[in-house]
């Protein structure tokens, strides 16, 4: 790249700046969604959550992280009141009451997200984007 | 002046806990080439197992601690064997993401099992009594941390110098292909490295637990240990220890003279400064990319 007269440092800096711009816009909008802000809100866990979204969607694709964000936000909302899901909820309540603690049941979402991260890295490193590519490849010459 | 000496001594005591975490991270970085973000949680789970052994099964403190260390060894080996090894031709980002995922799973498991409330680890030595050297106070727990860190450093040094397994580990870290050609099972050596690293981290966790025990307790020491390892160059054991003492001392001096509120942040400012001056860390001999 350096040989073809592309100014590497300039473009890398520009990529960094652009990413900071998007993060800034996101932060501003997030504050309106939540209606309150404090510095502690934007912690490492939030970064890890975004990383999970990106990985689920597919590293290195543009549409992937959007899909990942939709999937994971939906999952996050569902997992917040996991105890009210019909059958799994009752089973989890019994399990927590006898072996675990009921106060910590919301932490199941960490277990789920962590397992998703590991499973994607082990079985489909490109995430949803990789699945999409594979599907396209499979269906393109369809009858054969 | 006495203030300065007192703060330096407290800094060294805190630094030794960071040093243990940093040692664990460096061990794993040298073996598997991944900054290991699961280091803190590999120590957290055994600490809570020790707590459970004491309270639910009525074991003595000594038995519980030995059990926790044995469990840490098993946990480290298991994580490498069951998860990290299974990654298909992994790149560095993939491995980092796997360790972050493991970290989330273990953290979620511990907070599900034990709830988020703070607990108190029973410990034979109270964290409030202290010893006096000249004009400097040092709490007995800090003293124990310092001694334990020194003992572990010396035994790691001896292990890498004189035992067959230690030499095999060094060989694997230096050149994996050549080590495999010489008949070393590099996979097994890596697995044992993870076990040792988890055990070293657990010692730090057990020494930190009497002061502060809740599921998030290992976050801060883990990040500080990572900072220390980066300062030392990520591949050098003495470098990691040195970096940890620097982080501890700078943190305490900053907390004493400048601002208590931003004490936790200053370690990362130190990293930025060190990496600007010497990008490969203070102790890295020369940066060679393994192919």
pLDDT digits (tens, 9 = 90+) for B229-250: 988 888 888 889 999 999 999 9
Tens of pLDDT, residues A8-37: 899 999 999 999 999 899 888 988 888 887
- Is the confidence at residue B176, as pLDDT, over 60? yes
Question: Does residue A24 share a domain with residue A91?
Answer: no
* B179 touches B165 (CB < 8 A): no
| Residue A118 within a domain | yes
- Kindly determine whether residue A104 and residue B93, on different chains, have CB atoms separated by under 8 Å: no
- Kindly determine whether residue A111 and residue B105, on different chains, have CB atoms separated by under 8 Å: yes
Question: Does residue A6 share a domain with residue A56?
Answer: no
The residue with tokens 């900054």 is: B35
Question: Does residue A80 share a domain with residue A127?
Answer: yes
Question: Does residue A57 share a domain with residue A127?
Answer: yes
| ipTM score assigned to the predicted complex | 0.84
| Residue A4 within a domain | yes
- Kindly determine whether residue B101 and residue A116, on different chains, have CB atoms separated by under 8 Å: yes
CB-side neighbour CA atoms (13 Å) of A124:
15
Question: Does residue A67 share a domain with residue A135?
Answer: yes
Question: Does residue A88 share a domain with residue A51?
Answer: yes
Q: Would you kindly state where each structural domain of chain B is located, as residue ranges?
A: 2-277
Choose among B87, B98, B111: nearest Cβ to A104: B111
| Boundaries of domain holding A27 | 1-42
Question: Does residue A53 share a domain with residue A113?
Answer: yes
Question: Does residue A36 share a domain with residue A58?
Answer: no
Question: Does residue A38 share a domain with residue A65?
Answer: no
Angle between helices B219-232 and B186-208 (to 10 degrees): 120
* pLDDT score of B102: 92
The alpha carbon of residue B263 is apart from the nearest alpha carbon of chain A, in Å, by: 16
The alpha carbon of residue A2 is apart from the nearest alpha carbon of chain B, in Å, by: 21
| Residue A144 within a domain | no
Average pLDDT over every residue of A52-66 = 87
Tens of pLDDT, residues B32-51: 888 888 998 999 999 999 99
Question: Does residue A68 share a domain with residue A21?
Answer: no
Q: Which of residues 105-124 of A touch B (CB under 8 A)?
A: 105, 107-118, 121-122
Question: Does residue A66 share a domain with residue A34?
Answer: no
The fold of the B2-277 domain, in CATH, is: ABC transporter involved in vitamin B12 uptake, BtuC (1.10.3470)
How large a percentage of chain B has pLDDT more than 70? 97
d(CA B100, CA A118): 9
- Kindly determine whether residue A111 and residue B114, on different chains, have CB atoms separated by under 8 Å: no
Q: How many CB atoms lie within 10 A of CB A103?
A: 14
Could you tell me the two tokens for B152?
């572990």
- A59 vs B: CB within 8 A: yes
Taking contacts as CB-CB distances below 8 angstroms, the residues of chain B near A103 are 115-117
Question: Does residue A48 share a domain with residue A95?
Answer: yes
* pLDDT score of B291: 42
- Decide: pTM greater than 0.90: no
Q: Lowest-confidence range among B25-39, B120-134, B252-266?
A: B120-134
- Is the confidence at residue B223, as pLDDT, over 80? yes
- Kindly determine whether residue A117 and residue B86, on different chains, have CB atoms separated by under 8 Å: no
* pLDDT score of B289: 52
Number of structural domains (chain A) is 2
């Amino acid at each position: 790249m350096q040989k073809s007269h592309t100014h590497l440092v300039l473009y890398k800096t520009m990529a960094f700046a652009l990413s900071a711009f998007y993060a800034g816009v996101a932060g501003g909008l997030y504050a309106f969604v939540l209606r309150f802000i404090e510095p502690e809100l934007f912690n490492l866990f939030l970064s890890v959550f975004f990383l999970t979204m990106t990985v689920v969607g597919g590293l290195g694709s543009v549409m992937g992280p959007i899909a990942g964000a939709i999937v994971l936000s939906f999952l996050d909302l569902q997992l917040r009141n996991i105890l009210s899901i019909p059958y799994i909820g009752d089973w989890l309540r019994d399990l927590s009451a006898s072996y675990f603690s009921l106060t910590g049941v919301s932490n199941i979402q960490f277990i789920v997200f962590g397992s998703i991260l590991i499973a994607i890295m082990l079985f489909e490193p490109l995430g949803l984007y990789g699945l999409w590519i594979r599907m396209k490849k499979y269906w393109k010459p369809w009858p054969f | 002046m006495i203030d300065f000496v007192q703060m330096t001594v407290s800094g060294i005591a805190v630094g030794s806990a960071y040093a243990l975490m940093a040692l664990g991270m460096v061990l794993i970085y040298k073996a598997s080439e991944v900054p290991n973000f699961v280091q803190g949680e590999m120590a957290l789970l055994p600490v809570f197992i020790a707590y459970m052994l004491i309270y639910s099964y009525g074991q003595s403190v000594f038995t519980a601690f030995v059990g926790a260390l044995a469990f840490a060894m098993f946990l480290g080996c298991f994580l490498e064997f069951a998860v990290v090894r299974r990654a298909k031709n992994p790149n560095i980002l993939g491995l980092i993401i796997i360790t972050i995922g493991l970290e989330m799973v273990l953290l979620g498991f511990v907070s599900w099992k034990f709830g988020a409330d703070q607990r108190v680890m029973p410990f034979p030595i109270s964290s409030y009594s202290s010893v006096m050297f000249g004009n400097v106070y040092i709490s007995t727990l800090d003293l124990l941390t310092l001694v334990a860190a020194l003992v572990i450093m010396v035994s790691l040094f001896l292990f890498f110098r004189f035992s067959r397994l230690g030499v095999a580990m060094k060989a694997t870290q230096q050149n994996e292909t050549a080590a495999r050609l010489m008949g070393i099972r590099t996979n097994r050596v890596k697995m044992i490295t993870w076990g040792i690293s988890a055990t070293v981290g657990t010692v730090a966790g057990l020494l930190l637990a009497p002061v502060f025990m809740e599921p998030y307790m290992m976050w801060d020491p883990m990040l500080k240990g990572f900072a220390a390892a980066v300062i030392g160059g990520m591949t050098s054991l003495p470098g990691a220890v040195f970096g940890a003492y620097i982080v501890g001392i700078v943190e305490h001096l900053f907390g004493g003279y400048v601002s208590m509120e931003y004490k936790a942040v200053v370690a990362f400012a130190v990293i930025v400064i060190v990496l600007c001056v010497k990008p490969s860390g203070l102790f890295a001999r020369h940066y060679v990319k393994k192919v």
